[in-house]
Every structure is written in structure tokens, then in C-alpha cells.
């Protein structure tokens, strides 16, 4: 046999082979009679000794393959050469001191980059490769991350969370080529500015509304054009409208209900113990809010008010933002299995029927609920009947500030018919709601039309309105006017950067806590 069956090792010849049920062993040797000295280049064929190296190769049909290589040592016959003994090297397919061939290492590296530690070990075992998770991760960390060769003109930067609210990093994406450029260990001004200085070819940087990134761009690339992301602008607008509704009482929503059945009961029941406790707590809170406003009117600061009242600064700010005392709304009754039998239950209660008799009759009609559900239902019915009213299946329910903000900003053409009555109620009952709606919708229209010239007029109207939250949003737009105007006009945004962040988080979660920055950066940039 002059060579191995595979053309991967053309310089080796097969001596013999051994096959068992779990592996295949090929004993091989070099075809050459001698070698050249790596120091002086002297050709030598005089053998000093031999030894064997056993290395693992890629599996064959799921069976492990090992190469037992006969390595010869030669004398260097050049008397002026300092090297006396030369060992054969097979750099084309195996590196010195390695126990695996180069092509097997390439396979393991690809598995590690794609799957990580434990998932990569499971796939390797299915392929017939024995490897540990630490070996895979070590191979990834030892490989240098290649730098992009092409010049970068337009990038988008955004932050991503190691742990939300505690530790963040920065991701940079090439918006023209739709690929990831780099991942930075934090989002500080110094780190981002240093990276930008190392890439002076960048002309345009798309970012969110973060002031840290704005300062970093001004320090690192003062001549670059900053572009405020349009999605973040709309998000900031929605947050401002939501804060506006959080400071005002949002009216409850009433859905169409049927007229209740007439009852001849005129007795008035006293409030329950729970209702009395709620009333007392509400009165105490209203008095506390009133005291906070009076102290503020007397000239005390937020810290002083907090010390006098025993409240935190956040609570004091919240109470000062309330223009009217908070009101409680009646909770919407849940739909129960008893709603289809409501009229029948009311009729039997009016005839003084007991609970077990009512349960028996409605079960004959198909009721499949429990006895305790019926008991709670009957208690509520009896209390309401004693007050001279019959509970309805659908009641008023509370509307969150976020839902109200979304409804207010939505264009009229996109508002559902069932939401229009409540929108009219919202505009009529909430102070300055009409002004907020006009400014919010006009801002969206300017963005849709890419009208940066009309932004100055909008800012003038927003800064002069009587809504504090809208003024605060407008002041932020005014401070970042050039970036916002560029976002209105240009085609660039952080949309694809958010997609890269999503992929980074997916890789981070796959590694189950082993995703340190070095390993995570290597895997993310390898895919790019």
C-alpha cells in the first residue's frame, strides 16, 4: 500500500490497519527517505531513532478513527549547525503536541461556534467524536476574531443587557452591509468613543435617544452625522402620553349593557366591612396628598417634604404630579359559569329558595360549576338586591394609562368602531386631552411625511402647551434637534441593530451562564 485511501494525507503511506467494534486504527509513516534541517537546510537521511504518535481524525460512518504515526528522528550532518537531532514534522495535517488532526480541530471549532459547550458535546458524540465542553469553549477563545477588511461608512449602535437593569454592553452594526461589526463590554462614553476613534471612516451613526451615546459620538467622531432612531422617537412620545394619563384620572370604560330587571326592594344595605376599610384608606391618602401639596406651596423642597412626612422622594414626586385625588373604579366582574343562569337564579332568590335547591335546579339545566362558586355568586346577588339593584354581567372596568395613550395616539381611520365612544369620553373628561392628541398625532404625521421643516413649528406649539409631559418630550427633541431631523429625512434606523441584539441574546441564553464577554463576542462575531 503506497498511501491512505483518502487523498487528505498524500505524504503518508499505510503500514497496516486494525479495526474493532468502536474504532479504526491506521498505522502510517512518511513516504520521504529523509528531511531538511529547519535551521541550516542540510538534507539528511541518517536515522537516529523512531517513536509513535497517536492522533484522532474525523470519524468514519460514526466510528472513531485514529492514526498511529511512525515518527523518525534524524541526525543533522552539518557540523556548524547547533541542532543535532531533527524530528519529522507533519504540519500539513497535524500541529506539534496536538492529539487531533487539523481537520478534526476545524470540525470541533465549527461545532463550538455554532452550538457552544454542552450542545456541541452532544452533537459531537452523535458524530463519533469524544470531546469535553471545556475543550470546545477553549478552542473558541483561543481563535482571534478577524477585523472587518472593508471600510465602514454607516453604523448603528445600541445597548444590550448582560442582566437587565444592572449591566449593559454595546453592539455595533454595519447598516449598509447588514452585518455585525463589533461588541463592546459596556456602554460608557469612554469605551464607545475610543472604538469610534479607531474607525475614522464612519460618516453616519444611528442611535437611540441615549445622551451617553450622543456624547461618545461627539468625542469620537465629531464630524459624523448622528441619526435618532424613529422607533425610539415614537416610543418616547408614547411614554410621555402615558405619563400624562398616569398623572390624571382616566375615566372607566363602560360597555353596552342591558336594562336590569325591575325589583320592588327598597331596603338599603349598609356598606360592607371591606368597603368601609377602602373608604377610610382613601380618605387618609387624600389627606396625605393634600398635606404634600400644602408643604410644596409653602416653599419646601422634595427632600424636606419627604423628611417631614416620612415619605420617599419618588412618592413625593408622584403625589405632586397628581392634579386631582386618585379615584377608585369598580372592578369588572369576571365571566362565570353562572352567567347563563343569572335570570333563573334571581327568580329563585326572589322566592326565597335556598342555595342547595338552586344548585340542584341549575345543574339539571346544564350547570357544571362548583358549589362554592354558586355560594359566592349568591352572596353578591343578595347584597345587591338588598341595595335595590341587580348586578349586571358586564360592569365598568379600569383603563390603564398605556391603553389610553395608545388609543389617543392612534389615527382616527385606525380606531375601531367600538373604541370611538370611549375615545370621545376620554377627550371630554380628561383635561388637555384634546391638546395632547393633536400634538401627538401631528408629530407622527411629520415623521410619516419625512417633514423635518415642520418640526420647528411643532416644537413651538409643544413647548407652549400646558401639558408638562409633552413639554418635557419637546425639550428633549429640541436638545437633540439635528439628530431628530436627520432621522426624519434619512433612510437609516436601528431596526436591524435590534435584530442583531435579539440574536446575541439568543446565543447568550444558549450557554446557560457560561457566556462571558470573551466567549460571547467570539461566537457572535464568528456568525457575522
pLDDT digits (tens, 9 = 90+) for 242-297: 999 998 888 887 665 444 444 333 334 456 677 778 788 888 888 888 888 888 88
Please give the average per-residue pLDDT across 58-85, as a whole number: 89
242 and 196 together in one domain: no
**219 burial via Cβ count (<10 Å: 0-12, 13-18, 19+):** middle
Listed residues 84, 99, 114: the one ending a domain: 99
The pLDDT of residue 173: 93
CA distance 351 to 344: 11
Considering only 168-182, 247-261, 419-433, which range has the smallest mean pLDDT? 247-261
Nearest to 4 by CA among 89, 101, 88, 83: 101
Whether the Cβ atoms of residue 343 and residue 381 lie closer than 8 Å to each other: no
The closest of 13, 19, 118 to 60, measured between CA atoms, is 19
CB 172 within 8 A of CB 156: yes
Are 51 and 71 in contact by the 8 Å Cβ rule? The answer is yes
Q: At what angle do helices 230-246 and 433-448 cross, to 10 degrees?
A: 180
- Residue ranges of the alpha helices (H) in 47-132? 102-115, 118-127
Query: Do 170 and 78 fall within a single domain?
Result: no
Could you report how far apart the first and last alpha carbons of the chain are, in Å? 45
Residue at grid coordinates 541526525:
75
Confidence label for 402 from pLDDT (cuts 50, 70 and 90):
very high
- Same structural domain, 281 and 382: yes
Considering only 5-19, 274-288, 387-401, which range has the smallest mean pLDDT? Answer: 387-401
Task: Quickly tell me which residue has 338588598 as its cell.
Answer: 386
Does a structural domain hold residue 392? Answer: no
User: Is the per-residue pLDDT at 208 higher than 50?
Assistant: yes
CA 247/CA 21 separation, integer angstroms: 76
pLDDT at 204: 93
User: Are both 210 and 244 inside the same structural domain?
Assistant: no
Position 138 in a domain? no
d(CA 526, CA 113): 7
pLDDT at 483: 92
Residue 380 lies in a domain: yes
* Number of domain units in the chain: 4
Domain region containing 410: 238-250+400-484
DSSP code, position 412: G
435 domain-assigned? yes
Q: Is the pLDDT of residue 57 over 70?
A: yes
Question: Rounded CA gap, 214 and 152, in Å?
Answer: 19
Same-domain status, 2 and 92:
yes
In which residue are the cell numbers 475610543 written?
Answer: 194
Any domain includes 126 = no
What is the gyration radius of the CA atoms in the chain, in angstroms?
38
The arithmetic mean of pLDDT across residues 57-73, rounded, is 89
DSSP string, 459-491: HHHHHTSS-HHHHHHHHHHHHTHHHHHHHHHSS
The cell for 109 is 471549532
Judgement on whether residues 302 and 326 belong to the same structural domain of the protein? yes
Q: Summarize pLDDT for 82-118 with one digit per residue, the tens.
A: 888 999 888 888 888 888 888 898 898 888 888 888 8
pLDDT in the model for residue 269? 47
pLDDT, averaged across the chain: 84
Do residues 65 and 10 both lie within one domain? Answer: yes
Give the burial class of 303: count Cβ atoms within 10 A of its Cβ; 0-12 exposed, 13-18 middle, 19 or more buried: exposed
Question: pLDDT tens across 108-166, in order?
Answer: 888 888 888 888 888 988 888 888 888 888 888 887 676 666 788 999 999 998 888 88
Angle, helices 401-409/420-429, rounded to nearest 10 degrees: 100
Considering only CA atoms, which of 204, 197, 162 is closest in space to residue 521? 162
Task: Give 344's DSSP letter.
Answer: H
* Cα 416 to Cα 122: distance, rounded to the nearest angstrom: 52
Residue-wise pLDDT tens digits, 441-494: 999 999 998 888 889 899 999 998 888 999 999 999 999 999 999 999 888 989
Q: Is 328 a residue whose pLDDT tops 60?
A: no
Whether pLDDT at 3 is above 80: no
Quick check: is 257 in a domain? Answer: no
In this predicted structure, the answer to whether residue 335 has a pLDDT above a threshold of 70 is no
Last residue of a domain, one of 354, 386, 418: 386
Among 58-62, 387-391, 498-502, top mean pLDDT goes to: 498-502
Confidence of residue 223 (pLDDT cuts 50, 70, 90): very high
- 51's enclosing H/E stretch is strand 47-60
Same-domain check for residues 28 and 53:
yes
Question: Do 477 and 515 reside in the same domain of the chain?
Answer: no
Is 344 part of a structural domain of the chain?
A: yes
Model pTM?
A: 0.63
Which CATH number fits the domain that encloses residue 500? 3.30.420.10
Distance between CA atoms of 487 and 447, rounded to whole angstroms? Answer: 9
Cell 326565597 found at: 352
Sign of CA dihedral 405, 406, 412, 417: negative
221 and 173 assigned to the same domain: yes
pLDDT at 284: 84
Rounded distance between C-alpha atoms, residue 411 and residue 238, angstroms = 14
Judge if 285 and 363 occupy the same domain: yes
**Residue 6 reports pLDDT greater than 60:** no
**Cα–Cα distance between 179 and 174 in angstroms, integer?**
5
Residue 382: pLDDT over 90: no
Residues 380 and 277 in one domain: yes
Residue 187 belongs to a domain: yes
Amino acid at each position: 500500500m503506497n498511501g491512505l485511501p483518502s487523498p487528505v494525507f498524500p505524504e503518508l503511506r499505510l503500514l497496516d490497519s486494525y479495526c474493532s467494534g468502536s474504532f479504526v486504527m491506521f498505522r502510517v509513516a512518511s513516504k520521504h527517505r529523509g528531511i531538511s534541517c529547519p535551521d541550516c537546510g542540510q538534507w539528511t537521511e541518517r536515522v537516529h531513532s523512531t517513536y509513535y504518535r497517536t492522533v484522532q481524525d474525523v470519524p468514519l460512518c460514526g466510528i472513531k478513527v485514529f492514526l498511529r504515526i511512525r515518527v523518525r528522528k534524524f541526525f543533522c550532518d552539518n557540523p556548524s549547525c547547533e541542532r543535532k537531532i531533527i524530528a519529522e514534522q507533519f504540519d500539513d495535517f497535524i500541529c506539534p503536541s496536538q492529539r487531533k488532526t487539523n481537520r478534526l480541530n476545524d470540525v470541533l471549532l465549527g461545532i463550538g461556534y455554532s452550538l457552544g459547550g454542552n450542545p456541541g458535546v452532544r452533537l459531537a458524540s452523535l458524530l463519533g467524536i469524544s470531546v469535553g465542553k471545556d475543550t470546545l469553549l477553549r478552542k473558541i477563545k483561543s481563535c482571534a476574531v478577524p477585523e472587518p477588511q472593508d471600510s465602514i461608512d454607516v453604523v448603528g449602535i445600541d445597548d444590550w443587557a448582560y442582566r437587565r437593569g444592572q449591566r449593559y454592553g454595546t453592539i455595533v452594526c454595519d447598516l449598509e452591509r447588514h452585518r455585525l461589526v463589533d461588541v463592546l463590554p459596556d456602554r460608557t462614553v469612554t469605551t464607545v468613543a475610543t472604538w469610534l476613534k479607531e474607525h475614522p471612516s464612519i460618516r453616519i451613526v444611528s442611535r437611540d435617544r441615549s445622551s451617553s451615546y450622543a456624547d461618545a459620538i461627539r468625542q469620537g467622531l465629531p464630524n459624523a452625522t448622528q441619526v435618532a432612531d424613529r422607533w425610539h422617537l415614537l416610543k418616547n412620545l408614547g411614554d410621555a402620553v402615558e405619563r400624562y394619563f398616569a398623572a390624571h384620572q382616566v375615566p372607566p370604560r363602560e360597555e353596552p349593557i342591558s336594562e336590569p330587571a325591575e325589583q320592588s326592594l327598597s331596603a338599603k344595605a349598609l356598606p360592607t366591612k371591606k368597603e368601609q376599610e377602602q373608604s377610610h384608606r382613601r380618605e387618609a391618602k387624600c389627606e396625605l396628598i393634600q398635606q404634600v401639596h400644602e408643604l410644596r406651596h409653602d416653599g419646601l423642597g422634595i427632600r424636606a417634604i419627604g423628611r417631614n412626612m416620612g415619605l420617599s422622594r419618588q412618592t413625593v414626586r408622584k403625589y405632586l404630579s397628581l392634579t386631582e385625588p386618585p379615584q377608585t373604579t369598580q372592578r369588572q366582574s369576571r365571566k362565570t359559569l353562572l352567567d347563563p343562569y343569572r335570570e333563573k337564579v334571581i327568580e329563585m332568590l326572589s322566592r326565597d329558595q335556598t342555595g342547595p335547591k338552586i344548585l340542584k335546579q341549575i345543574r339539571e339545566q346544564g350547570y357544571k360549576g362548583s358549589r362554592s362558586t354558586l355560594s359566592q355568586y349568591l352572596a353578591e346577588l343578595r347584597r345587591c338586591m338588598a341595595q335595590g339593584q341587580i348586578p349586571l354581567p358586564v360592569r365598568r372596568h379600569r383603563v390603564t394609562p398605556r391603553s389610553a395613550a395608545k388609543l389617543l395616539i392612534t389615527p382616527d381611520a385606525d380606531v375601531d368602531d367600538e373604541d370611538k365612544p370611549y375615545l370621545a369620553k376620554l377627550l371630554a373628561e380628561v383635561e388637555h386631552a384634546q391638546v395632547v392628541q393633536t400634538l401627538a398625532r401631528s408629530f407622527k404625521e411629520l415623521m410619516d411625511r419625512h417633514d423635518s421643516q415642520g418640526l420647528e413649528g411643532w416644537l413651538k406649539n409643544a413647548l407652549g402647551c400646558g401639558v408638562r409631559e409633552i413639554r418635557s418630550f419637546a425639550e428633549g427633541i429640541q436638545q437633540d434637534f439635528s439628530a431628530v431631523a436627520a432621522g426624519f429625512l434619512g433612510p437609516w434606523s436601528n431596526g436591524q441593530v435590534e435584530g442583531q441584539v435579539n440574536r446575541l441574546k439568543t446565543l447568550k441564553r444558549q450557554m446557560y451562564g457560561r457566556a462571558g464577554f470573551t466567549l460571547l463576542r467570539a461566537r457572535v462575531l464568528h456568525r457575522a
